Structure 1
Amino acid sequence: MFKQLILTAALAAASTAAFAEPVTYKIDPSHTNVIAQWNHFGFSNPSAHFGQAEGTLVYDADNVAASSVQVTLPLTGLDSFSAKFDEHLRSADFFEVAEFPVATFESTQVEAVGEGKLKVTGNLTIKDITKPVVLDVTLNKVGVHMNKQPAIGFDATTTVKRSDFDLGMAAPMVSDEVEIRITTEASVPKDT
């Protein structure tokens, strides 16, 4: 009888784990970096940081296809590590931040492609131009953060063409292709 009780409890626990609910996390802008890097006339490979990312990640470990991500990048947080170049990037030559203050990404498909590896397809919108983008994603960790809240962390990479978003000034001398590297932490918000 005792063995049967243990077996029943184990099966109940396993069935609960197998049907775990998706978890919704809020992106932590303090621990999220979106870095763009390009080639400048063959001489250097400068980069820019898009800060203050906002958004949500929904992660379903049992059904990865049910996962999703939605991110907003305020372009006022753009930092090329040069105040003069920041002004140029925010101007009408590039991002036109006064008219188009944010960039957004919204996933349309999430696929598992190996242990801790995902392929996230979605729509990137810059200057009201929307193009499909595929992110190669590595799941860094799922667990409980030191603030005692469930948390998740990812790294991701992709390459986009500046000209697809009307940002192609000086291409191809300045590379049209821009490498994007992302690292992010997100936590389940505390109940308020």
Structure 2
Amino acid sequence: MFRSFQTFLCASAAAALFAAGSAGAAQFKTDQGHTEVNFGWSHAGVSMQSAEFTVADGTLDLDPENPGEAKLNVTIKADSLNSGFGPLDDHLKSKDFLEVETYPEITFTSTSVEVTGEKTANVTGDLTIHGTTKPVTLATELTHIGPHPLGGVIDYYKGEWIAFTAETEIDHMAFGVGGFSTGPISISIVTEMKSAE
């Protein structure tokens, strides 16, 4: 059921490169307008389906001299699920799946960061869905770090920014979210994060 959970979660990859451009610890926050948390699943082995969570808030605390100590926290509003088809959204939000009235939030809290390359890192953390918490590792890739290209023309984009993608797969049944899907749920995230300073 989930092909992209992302936002937010690969920012730690940026930590490896950020040391070259700034000094001291900093916090970055997700830019909602440029954050996508998508997920996809095989519908009974018949076809591949996908949907998106449209509300995801995250923070990245980063000390550029200690990128492996970066901390990422993300909260997704479960009822922001949008597949583009209302009846399917209602079903996925129901007690058959996410049960959003009882479990309104999906969260990710990083526990470790392993820098794997100049622009990549594995970010491991605790993912909580449907009241169940399991460890998940996100494969992340840095796509931007530093001043935003639009900062010179639009005030909102002034300051330091980090952008990244993240991908993982989960067993939705292990989270108590079940039925009708064969194989793992793929999750992918794209996000831009702005310095809180």
Instruction: Please report the TM-score for the alignment, with normalisation by the length of structure 2.
Output: 0.82
User: Counterpart of 2:176 in structure 1: which amino acid?
Assistant: D
Shift of 1:18: 9.7
Unaligned runs of 5+ in 1: 1-15
Could you tell me how far apart the structure 2 residues matched to 1:55 and 1:42 are? 33
Q: How do 1:1-192 and structure 2 match up within 5 A?
A: 20-145=23-148, 146=151, 147-170=157-180, 174-189=181-196
Shift of 1:91: 0.3
1:12 corresponds to: none
User: Counterpart of 1:155 in structure 2: which amino acid?
Assistant: T
Q: Are the aligned partners of 2:57 and 2:74 in contact in 1 as well (CA < 8 Å)?
A: yes
Q: Are the aligned partners of 2:61 and 2:71 in contact in 1 as well (CA < 8 Å)?
A: yes
User: Counterpart of 2:190 in structure 1: which amino acid?
Assistant: T
Shift of 1:19: 8.8
SS at match of 1:29: strand
The structure where strand makes up a greater share of residues is 2
Could you tell me how far apart the structure 1 residues matched to 2:160 and 2:46 are? 44
Shift of 1:90: 0.5
The structure where helix makes up a greater share of residues is 1
Distance 1:69 1:17, change over 3 A: same
Q: Are the aligned partners of 2:55 and 2:77 in contact in 1 as well (CA < 8 Å)?
A: yes
Structure showing greater Rg: 1
Distance 1:150 1:19, change over 3 A: closer
Unaligned runs of 5+ in 2: 1-18, 152-156
Shift of 1:150: 0.8
User: Counterpart of 2:192 in structure 1: which amino acid?
Assistant: E
Could you tell me how far apart the structure 2 residues matched to 1:33 and 1:18 are? 26
Q: Are the aligned partners of 1:22 and 1:67 in contact in 2 as well (CA < 8 Å)?
A: no
User: Counterpart of 1:48 in structure 2: which amino acid?
Assistant: A
Q: Are the aligned partners of 1:119 and 1:136 in contact in 2 as well (CA < 8 Å)?
A: yes
SS at match of 1:87: helix
Query: Higher relative contact order by CA 8 Å / sep ≥ 6: 1 or 2?
Result: 2
User: Counterpart of 2:122 in structure 1: which amino acid?
Assistant: K
Q: Are the aligned partners of 2:130 and 2:177 in contact in 1 as well (CA < 8 Å)?
A: no
Q: Are the aligned partners of 2:24 and 2:63 in contact in 1 as well (CA < 8 Å)?
A: yes
Percent identity over paired residues:
38
Q: Are the aligned partners of 1:19 and 1:62 in contact in 2 as well (CA < 8 Å)?
A: no
Could you tell me how far apart the structure 1 residues matched to 2:20 and 2:52 are? 39
